[in-house]
Structure 1
Amino acid sequence: MSPDPRTRFNLYLNLIRWDRPAGTWLLLWPSLSALWIAADGWPGMHLLMVFILGTFLMRSAGCCVNDVADREFDKHVKRTAQRPVTSGAVSVREALLLGAGLALLAFGLVLTTNAPAILLSFAALAVACLYPYAKRVVAMPQAVLGVAFSFGIPMAFAAALGGMQWSLEGINAAVPPTAWGLLASNLFWVLAYDTEYAMVDRDDDIRIGIKTSALTLGRFDVAAVMGFYAIYLASWTWLGLRLGLGKLFLLGMAIAAAQVVWHYLLIRDRSREGCFKAFRENHWLGFSVFAGVALDLSLR
């Protein structure tokens, strides 16, 4: 009997985390914040849709690559043992073909922008593909993820400000130093929430030998997470003020800071449930920052 197409489709939806969009939001909010800053307000429907759809497609493609890379590790972790590739419900070939197809669709969207954004998309893809393998050799692979999850920031500047110059000079003209500063700042937010995520699987990761920031930081993990949040909030605030953002931006940052206090209460006892909840709710922190940026620029 041939397999039910609906069953295959549902497996593919499970593979790309269709029902768990937190990762998409975590990617999207910094990119949209940068897009509003680069455009000095409303960026236009075209660029907005490029970044919303492109973020969803690339996060989905990243899930395919990640599950292929981690399939031997995931079978030893209760939370991930039933992922489609790990369980054998979806083959490695199927997952890679799906991931490649999604990445090509995302690239098609980038092609509607400009030369600097297109050139930066290759670097973004390379970092995204590197991350799943970084946890085998890098003590804090969350830093690699931080670069991957922050690369939408320079791409947003390039898409909003770039011309048609196919060169490094074209990228430098479109992406100011402030954009790279925002990327570096956002990296610390990723370190914070992905360390919370790594704290969920600490015992399993010790057993199977995966390197994570939670293991590297040891008993200083909670303090480090709070430090990462503090660096992110302070540096993003400083950069925003240098860019001329005002009271509504500061209000958004204050709401984000209040959420950090809540996250501390969730993770201080290192319970799996508390750490996982803190990770899943981080997208509201990112939304608060974006809302402050967008409202401040729109209501000047």
Structure 2
Amino acid sequence: MQGKAPTPDGQVQDAVKGNWVDTLAPEWTRPYLRLSRADRPIGTWLLFLPCLWGLVLAMLNSQSSNWSDLWIAFVCAAGSWLMRGAGCTWNDITDRDFDAQVARTRSRPIPSGQVSVKGALVWMALQALVSFGLLLTLNAAAIAMGVLALLPVAVYPFAKRFTWWPQVFLGVAFNWGILLAWVAHSGSLGWPAVVLYLAGMTWTLFYDTIYAHQDTEDDALIGVKSTARLFGSSSPMWLRRFLVATVLLMAVAIISALQTEASVMALALALVGPWAMGWHMVWQLKRFDDEDPAKLLAVFRSNRDTGLIPLIFFCLALLA
């Protein structure tokens, strides 16, 4: 439980080394940007990429695209950064006592004393309000989806207190952008989006179980639940199951979306996406070592590339 000594100059222990927050941002902004995880961009990628999956698959489903889709992509990008920041701020407010007891998290802004709870609440509200302003530029159905997204975001920090499956709640929150982006393009929800959403959830179970293995010893001592603790030495078997489920569900979503209007070439290209994504997840499994926190963090961060792989093939299918 003693862990490492606090990092210098308020840096967070598991932040990307030499990140722009610690090196370029004005000093007074750094605690708040750290609170939003701006020094650890992987979370924004993991929130943003499912949005793009949903948007491009909706375009493939409708066989139409226009300039408004670029605006939807921009809103998703900005909203992912802002709402990830607001969600992480809320998470750190609710977890401040737990974070102070875990070696990897005690250097975060609230437990380390860089930001007060009141200051964090104001910062969270500011980020959420700007994000809501952007949401209001989309259609009514997308606005409704965006407002509904607040529920899983609010509940997630408490999930590890009452269930061994908090990663499910994270998956619900982190992949909501699939549904929102689909609705923003199409005006209504479709089954392909729902199935793709389930694929995103199983992917989240895969990468966040890997991430949670960094803290299993501390989590056991303070009573925090996770799939990493639940699975223990059986984690590789469960990770393989999540891998297979992700690939199959994404393939079903693609076939459902493209089977009537798209060309055979577009369908084939799109289906390469989950296949290639699956191989990248296999590569992660080969590197999985629950005794090496540094390797676990590196494998977790590689999921930016995992999520980019199907997006590339979706975009190629759009051009076919």
Is this a same-fold pair by TM over 0.5?
yes
Map residues 23-62 of structure 1 onto 2, 5 A cutoff.
23-40=43-60, 42=65, 44-62=69-87
The question of whether the paired residues in 2 share the 8 Å contact of 1:57 and 1:106 is answered with yes
Query: Using the alignment, how far apart are the partners of 2:35 and 2:295 within structure 1?
Result: 25
Give yes or no for contact 1:266–1:277 (8 Å, CA) kept in 2. no
2:101 aligned partner: 76
1:229 aligns with 2:254: no
In structure 1, C-alpha distance between the alignment counterparts of 2:58 and 2:93, rounded to whole Å? 36
In the comparison of the two structures, how many residue pairs are matched? Answer: 284
Deviation at 1:42, TM superposition (A): 4.5
1:278, CA displacement in angstroms? 1.3
Give me the whole-angstrom Cα distance separating, in 1, the residues matched to 2:275 and 2:290.
25
Asked whether the equivalents of residues 33 and 294 of structure 1 are also in contact (C-alpha less than 8 Å), the reply is no
Residue deviations 1:18-75, cap 9 Å, x none? 1211001011111101101112365532111111111111111111001111111111
Q: Report the equivalent of 2:226.
A: 212
Distance of 2:150 and 2:30 partners within structure 1: 26
**1:13 maps to 2:33:** yes
Tell me whether 1:261 sits opposite 2:282 in the alignment. yes
Q: What's the counterpart of residue 11 of structure 2?
A: none
Q: CA deviation at 1:253?
A: 2.4
Residue-by-residue CA offset, 1:213-272 (whole Å, 9 max, x unaligned): 111122211211121111001110122123225232233323212211211111155422
Q: CA–CA distance in 1 between the matches of 2:304 and 2:26?
A: 31
Aligned equivalents of 1:178, 1:258: Cα separation in 2: 23
2:320 is aligned with 1:296: no
Partner of 2:271: 250
Q: Which moved more, 1:253-262 or 1:151-160?
A: 253-262
> Percent identity between the aligned chains?
37
Aligned residue in 1 for 2:123: 98
Change (3 A) 1:57 1:95: same
Q: Following the alignment from structure 1 to structure 2, what is the Cα–Cα distance between the partners of residues 270 and 150?
A: 29
* DSSP 3-state at the match of 2:165: coil
Moved over 4 A (4+): none
Matches of 2:151 and 2:257 in 1, distance apart? 30
SS of residue in 2 equivalent to 1:18:
coil
Q: Give yes or no for contact 1:222–1:268 (8 Å, CA) kept in 2.
A: no
CA distance in 1, matches of 2:251, 2:161: 34
| TM-score (normalised: structure 1) | 0.90
CA RMSD of aligned residues (A): 1.6
For residue 190 of structure 1, what is the aligned residue in structure 2? 204
For 1:70-149, what aligned pairs fall within 5 Å after superposition? 70-149=95-174
Residue 274 (str. 1) matches residue 288 (str. 2): no
Counterpart Cα distance in 2 of 1:269 and 1:47: 39
